[in-house]
Each structure stands twice: as C-alpha cells, then as structure tokens.
Structure 1
Amino acid sequence: MALEPDERRDPRDPASPSGAETRSSDTTDALIARAVEAVRSAPEDDASWREITTNVLDRVRRLMGPSEPVLVHAADGATTQDDEGSRTYLSTRVLVAALRRLLQQAPTHAPTGIDLTVDGERLVDVELRLVGAYGTDLRALADRLHVEVLALLRDLLGPDPQLGASTVSICFEDIVDGDPRTV
C-alpha cells in the first residue's frame, strides 16, 4: 500500500525528472491522484489502513491549526436558541475563512494574517493584517473594511452586544505596486 518513490524524479520536485525546484498545481494534483489511486487499490481489511488514516488526519489537523468555538447569538441577542437551552457555535476556522474571502475581493488590498481572540466563548478581538496597493487611500479603505467585517461577523454570529467597532483592528503591513493579491 505504500507509495513507492519514482527513482527518476528529483525529491525536491516529484513532477520533474530534470530536477527543477518549482511546484505547480499540476504537480500537486498528480501527487494527490497517485495517493488516491494507492488508497483505492488497497484492500479494505488492510490492517495498516487505520494507522495510515490516523497519521494523515493528525497531519491535516496540525496543518489546519487549532480552532475554538464561538457562541452564536439569536436575533434577539440571546445565547440560547430554544426553551431547552440549546446553544449554537461557529468554529474560528470558519470565521477566518469567511474573513479571508471577504478581504480578497478587491485589488486594493489582500490579507497577510487574520487573528481571532475568543474569551468565554465570545469573539473579543479581530486583528487583520493587510497589504495595500500603492495609491490607495488606506484610511478610507480601513473605514470601509471595518463596516464590511462587522457586517459579516454579525451575519455569522448574530447580534452579540460585545461585538463593536473596537473589536476589529486593521494593520497595513506593506504597500505594493499593483494588485496585492497577485504580488
């Protein structure tokens, strides 16, 4: 069941027998396709399957980083969703992904980092680190992003009374010529 390395390929770049050190999405796709083929060809009762699955899942979890639950509020601001006291939570991983999508929509800026702080199941701080495009009015952009980020957070988490403009901080770490999403 193990994937055997192809002796003709440079270990730095499995897609290139010539030893080029660049990787492309085609290379990644080819590697994934080989892995899928190897897994599918293995017998289901293979004793090593559980060990491999556990190892892969552990690596994916480490890659993804930790996630914390954030309490979602009902339309009236309550934290319970029904008479039985049920609560709904949203993962910080989901929040970061949604914020990243929002911050990648315009050619005036791109995110370099998104940090969330959760205290007592509530989101208490959002730190956004961005790269801006040269010539952009960064103050006006930051003002607009504050509004958009808070609207997104309220849409996802409901009307948490502790969630306000001071929750979100924006830091421009660099200015680049051209579209920061492609630089």
Structure 2
Amino acid sequence: MATENSSNPPQPPSPAQSLPQYPEMIMAAIESLDEEGGSNKSSIAKHIEETCGNLPAAHTTLLAHHLNRMRQSGELVLVKNCYMKPDPNAPPRRGRGRPPKPKAPLPTGSAVASPRPRGRPPKPRDPFSPPPSQKKSPGSGRPRGRPPKKAKTAPSAASAPSDGAPRGRGRPPKVKPAVASVAC
C-alpha cells in the first residue's frame, strides 16, 4: 500500500517557492543598480523582471506593498520618488508629534504616588446637614427638566367659533363691513 508510482517524475517547485522573498529582491535590485540618487519603482521592477523570469501575476502590487512596508519600517528611504538604503550616519527618524518629556529618575526607596483622579473633586461634607438618604433631591427641591403641560379644561367662548366647527389653520379672513348702496 505504501508503494510509490515510479512513473511520476518529481514536480518542479512552483514559481512562488523558487523566488526569493520580495524584500531580498528589492535590496538586491537597489544594490545592483547603484544609482546615485536612488532607484525609482519602475527601474526596480524592471530589474527584478530581468533577473527573475517567473513572477506572479500580481507582481506590481506586491512590489508596491513591500516597498511601502520597507519604507515605513526604515529599511529604505524615499527621496524624490527614488528608493535608497538609509545612511548609517543619519540620525534616527522621529515619529509625528511632539516628543515626550524626559522623566526624572526617582530616588531609590521612594514610593510612586497614585495619580490625581479625573474630574472635579467632591464638595466638603457639612457635619450638621442631614444624611443624603433623607433629602428629596439636591438643590431647590424641584424635579429636573421642563414641567409637563397642563391639561386643557374647557374651551373658552372667545376662542371657539360660533358655528361649532373646528378652526382652520392660519389667520382668519378679514371681515368686510357691509356698505349701504346709495340710490340717486
């Protein structure tokens, strides 16, 4: 059962297995191109295509991803759209924002005080006031918020129309006085 069929030759490794890792290919391309101001993305891609024949279909996407990742990690420096190795004598790159203040070392044997709590400190308690459980509510004794509307009892005679029908929206029309016609 454990016999192997000798008619099947060993298969060659797939293109992804035979290729070196992208960061290695990128560094090799930059070193071999050895341009003074660095190498741009297209020249790096062209050099990788010439040296490594069988590249995956997403080669340009993978190259852009690895170049960005290497630039963010500090393995490469981007100057005027050209990638180059960082100068070993250059100062380390600082992050964004203001750097933190240096902390003074604590003397030995001292305890670290707990930080001050957030928010406004509570008011001092009056020893002569009644306990808080007996109070109705703090402040004026009135409940918070807007008071509820009072229920209407009966409509007044002035506001109700004489025919008993509900009033329409808006201003009522102007009543024209009756003019007596004058006969000549």
What is the TM-score of this pair, normalised by structure 1?
0.24
**Larger radius of gyration, structure 1 or 2?**
2
Choose between structure 1 and 2: higher strand proportion. Answer: 1
Q: Which has the higher helix share?
A: 1
Q: TM-score, normalised by structure 2?
A: 0.24
